[in-house]
Structure 1
């Protein structure tokens, strides 16, 4: 029996790695192209599964290319982070308390940036 199970990485880590490859590529990538760019020994089927899950989550989109698909991110890294923050906020019924605790933990610089964004109407 091999140590393959010990070498497995969490799905979130794999998804982040695949997303980084898509952002770095700058144009739609097939699972095979992503696999080559990762260079970490993942099977093409594993990369395809990760891309399909990301598509199901609405994080990437795809277009037909040959018999398969080429995938591309629907947002940049910062947009995806903001989306995740909204998702977490939506999970709790007491938004005001969650936001208050979030703001209370901001660094002075982050607090200044947030104030500036809110005052300028960009937030």
Structure 2
């Protein structure tokens, strides 16, 4: 019998993944799915052998966040990705913002902490958005 344990005969504990990491992995699997898929399909395509109940919990959380859609298929559901990882990050950011009473202060703090490159990118995105939403340049812009 071979000793596969770590130092001192103790096996190292498996690394515990955070909720955000698991959600991102599930979304990546769903993005590669050929069509809406059942939980078992997602479970089989995830690395790490997660329990069925863990996968259904993650899918349900993603559904509540609007990152996945589900439709009835017999007595259960099939699942489809609606958002990608960047969309999921945006949903988390919006949830944090929605939880605060002073949105202006939170956004001001966020923007002042951005790197110059990220600030420039945000200005470009807001400039493009402003033109799409109003049909022209934003009033009071730089």
TM-score range (shorter-chain normalised) is 0.7 to 0.9
The partner residue of 1:29 within 37, 41, 61 is 37
Structure 2 distance, partners of 1:11, 1:102, is 23
Question: Runs of 4+ in structure 1 displaced over 3 angstroms?
Answer: 6-13
The partner residue of 2:111 within 94, 103, 109 is 103
Alignment correspondent of 1:55: 63
Q: 1:44 and 2:52 equivalent?
A: yes
Indicate how the Cα distance of structure 1 residues 56 and 104 shifts in structure 2: closer, same or farther if over 3 A, else same: closer
Stretches of structure 2 lacking an aligned partner (at least 5 in a row): 1-12, 134-142
| Higher mean C-alpha deviation, range 37-46 or range 105-114 | 37-46
Aligned residues: 118
Stretches of structure 1 lacking an aligned partner (at least 5 in a row): 1-5
- Coordinate RMSD, CA, aligned: 2.3
Q: CA deviation at 1:41?
A: 1.5
Which structure's relative contact order is higher, taking Cα pairs within 8 Å and 6+ residues apart? 1
Q: Does the 8 A contact of 2:67 with 2:84 survive in 1?
A: no
Structure 2 distance, partners of 1:26, 1:78, is 21
Q: Does the 8 A contact of 2:27 with 2:84 survive in 1?
A: no
Structure 1 distance, partners of 2:90, 2:23, is 17
